[in-house]
Structure 1
Amino acid sequence: MTDDIAEESPGSTAPSAAGGYAGDPALRAEWDERYAERPQLWSGRPNGALVAETAGLTPGRVLDVGCGEGADAVWLARAGWEVTALEVSGVALERAAGHARDAGLTVHWVHAALTEAGLPPASFDLVSAQYPALLRTPDAAAERALLAAVAPGGVLLLVHHAGMDDGQARDSGFDPADYVWPSAVAELLDGDWRVEVDERRPRVAPEGGAGAHHADDLVLRVRRLR
């Protein structure tokens, strides 16, 4: 399910502030509130692992999962990718669409949770999930949705923060065990996949923005063989 409304840049669909959302309303409200607290939550620059890991890829169709304010989506579109960008927060999507419009770039915006988005299966040459807040469920729905979106020959790139203190995180109301990490996706891989990168590395962090204090990344890059 997508928001197909008035165009804001050539060939782009822009998100609507009302209606058209597919997912848990409470989750949308939570992230809308978080974004509304600040005029800009993130740095506005693309994530370093995304830049590094896509350097040798031929641009094709890409799904940006949890696109936030659109820095990665805009960077990918400028690099020649055909971008579909997914986000639960309407506040974030409005900002992202504005950045794409200002840059004169085409991006297709999807206002939905990953598991509710109704994305065409096996249709993206790259699925990029940079520090996604994807909740774990007993049926591993989010992990399976990430893998299902990748076309044969395509790549899933999942990047998350390393070295989180579980106790400290839980004290602040966040339990890392509730969320999808690269290791959970790796557990689902079978002979249809080849692991190209699975490592912890120093993070190349843009200055400013939430999350800039995390020093290391967990990087999982896997290719679908068939």
Structure 2
Amino acid sequence: MTHTFDKDYWQHHWDDRTSNTVAANPYLVEETAGLTPGTVLDAGCGAGAEAIWLAERGWRVTGADISTAALTAAAKQAESARVDVTWIEADLTSWNPTERWDLVMTHYAHPSIPQLDFYRRIAQWVAPGGSLLIVGHLHDGAQHHSINQEPPSEATVTAKDITALFDATAWRIDTAAERSRTVGGTGVHPKTLRDAVVRVAQR
């Protein structure tokens, strides 16, 4: 089944998933440990877990998402955490921000355009000398996703696919990894997630 990943898709997705607080992605924690807090854009921020985590650590954060439901939940979570985040409702496949950020990040964002085209697009929003962090669902040839499984193949990537986007004369590859982690706690069936994690910096 091919997913459209348009506004209606994401609005419905987040309508069903905004009641629970979710921890920030562990790869964000690892990959930002050595970075100096500055400005950051969370592209496809969802309910805001990563944006809020960075705001709590001194980053000046903008979270952008196509889903009103997601942003409403994110704003409530930020208020509870007593942090200031700028939330923007935008279709990132057509949005043209005038600002550039020290860090642009995206975690499992699935756009209506091809996945790699999306990464190429958001890379343009990195400020000179800044970094881009991408965490995506890993594609391996053995995976076959049914209608009820996530992610569908068109929303998966490899670390090699991502790093091939970046000219070595203009970008430094700091991380290019393919990793696995298990999620799910008490009363929840554990699930293994396989991820592509790439962080690049402008030279």
TM-score (norm 1): 0.75
Contact 1:48-1:203 within 8 A present in 2 as well: no
Corresponding residue for residue 125 of structure 1 = 102
- Counterparts of 1:59 and 1:28, CA distance in 2: 31
Q: Deviations over 1:130-184 (max 9, x none)?
A: 111134449x642222210111211111012235676631554864235666444
User: How do 1:41-120 residues align onto structure 2 when only pairs under 5 Å count?
Assistant: 43-120=21-98
Relative to structure 1, the CA distance from residue 180 to residue 142 in structure 2 (aligned partners, 3 Å threshold; closer, same or farther) is farther
User: How do 1:200-219 residues align onto structure 2 when only pairs under 5 Å count?
Assistant: 200-203=178-181, 205=183, 207=185, 213-219=191-197
Corresponding residue for residue 37 of structure 1 = 16
TM-fit CA distance, 1:44: 1.5
- Counterparts of 2:193 and 2:157, CA distance in 1: 19
**RMSD, aligned CA:** 2.9
Identical positions, percent:
34
Contact 1:68-1:87 within 8 A present in 2 as well: yes
Q: Deviations over 1:9-62 (max 9, x none)?
A: xxxxxxxxxxxxxxxx98222111122234536x52100000111011000000
Contact 2:106-2:135 within 8 A present in 1 as well: yes
Which structure: greater strand fraction?
A: 2
Contact 1:130-1:159 within 8 A present in 2 as well: yes
Deviates more, 1:26-35 or 1:86-95: 26-35
TM-fit CA distance, 1:207: 4.7
Relative to structure 1, the CA distance from residue 114 to residue 56 in structure 2 (aligned partners, 3 Å threshold; closer, same or farther) is same
Contact 1:48-1:204 within 8 A present in 2 as well: no
Equivalent residue pairs, number:
196
Structure 2 gap ranges (5+): none
Q: Deviations over 1:80-131 (max 9, x none)?
A: 000010111100100000111122211111111212222126x211111111
Deviates more, 1:157-166 or 1:195-204: 157-166
Corresponding residue for residue 221 of structure 1 = 199
